[in-house]
Structure 1
Amino acid sequence: MITFVIRALIFLVSAFLGLVVADLLLPGFFLHWNDWWGIVLAVVIFAVLQSVLAPWLFKVARRHADAFVGGIGLLSTFVALLIAVLIPAAGIGIDGPVAWIIGTLVVWLVTALATWLLPPLFIKKKVSDRRS
């Protein structure tokens, strides 16, 4: 159970980092910083959708279009961003095709790196806590 909670927190943190980096780098990609609840909602919506869409799209692509399996992360990131933007209460906006394309790439890259680099930090702490 604790491992599940740690993984969920890592996924939420990685989603937050991805959205913030895209907000900082791209002029057409923005988070509504005056509405902190909207940002929290956008991060949660994006993280949940990403975690649900990636395995589902992988399964569909594997069955019907095996050549697209490598791009599932990008596709699920794009779809999760699209749905998060369409929800009015979420504090995220994306304007223009360049912001959509580059934003998808940035968010995907940052979340991928964060989900790869953050677990060893938490696991190392967990192991050291158990040893002491």
Structure 2
Amino acid sequence: MLAFLIRAVIFVVSAALGLIVADLILPGFTLHWNDWWGIVLAVVIFAVLQSVLAPWLLTVARRHANAFIGGIGLLSTFVALLIAVLIPAAGIGIDGPVAWIVGTLVVWLVTALASWLLPPLFLKKQVQQRRE
């Protein structure tokens, strides 16, 4: 149970990192920093949608379009961003096609890297305890 909670926190942190990096490097991709609650809401909405959409889209792609399996992460990132932007209370805005395309790539890449690199840092102690 603890490992599940740690992984959930890591996923939310990786989502936050992805959105923050996109905000910092892309014009047109903005987090509304004056509304911290909106940013928290945007991060949580994005993280939950991403974690739900990715497995669902993978299942759909396996059944109907195997060629799209490699792009499931990008597609689920795009859809999660789209829904988060459409929610008025979420503190995120994306303007222009370049911001949408490059923003999706940046958020997906940073989230994927963080989801891969952060677990060993936080779960290392648990792995060592299980080995003993």
Unmatched 5+ residue regions in structure 1?
none
Q: Superposed, which structure 2 residues align to 1:44-59 within 5 Å?
A: 44-59=44-59
Structure 1 counterpart of 2:118: 118
> Which shifted more, 119-128 or 39-48?
119-128
How many residues in Structure 1 have an aligned counterpart in Structure 2? 131
Structure 2 counterpart of 1:98: 98
Q: What is the SS of the residue equivalent to 2:20?
A: helix
Structure-1-length-normalised TM-score: 0.96
Which residue type is aligned with residue 68 of structure 2?
F
Give the 4+ runs in structure 1 shifted more than 4 A.
Answer: 127-131
Provide closer, same or farther for how the CA distance between residues 62 and 37 of structure 1 changes in structure 2, counting only shifts above 3 A: same
**Structure 1 residue 66 displacement after superposition:** 0.4
**Structure 1 residue 123 displacement after superposition:** 1.2
Unmatched 5+ residue regions in structure 2?
none
Identity %: 85
Q: What is the SS of the residue equivalent to 1:93?
A: strand
Structure 2 counterpart of 1:33: 33
Structure-2-length-normalised TM-score: 0.96
Is 1:109 the counterpart of 2:123? The answer is no
RMSD of aligned C-alpha atoms? 1.3
Q: What is the SS of the residue equivalent to 1:27?
A: coil
**Structure 1 residue 128 displacement after superposition:** 5.7
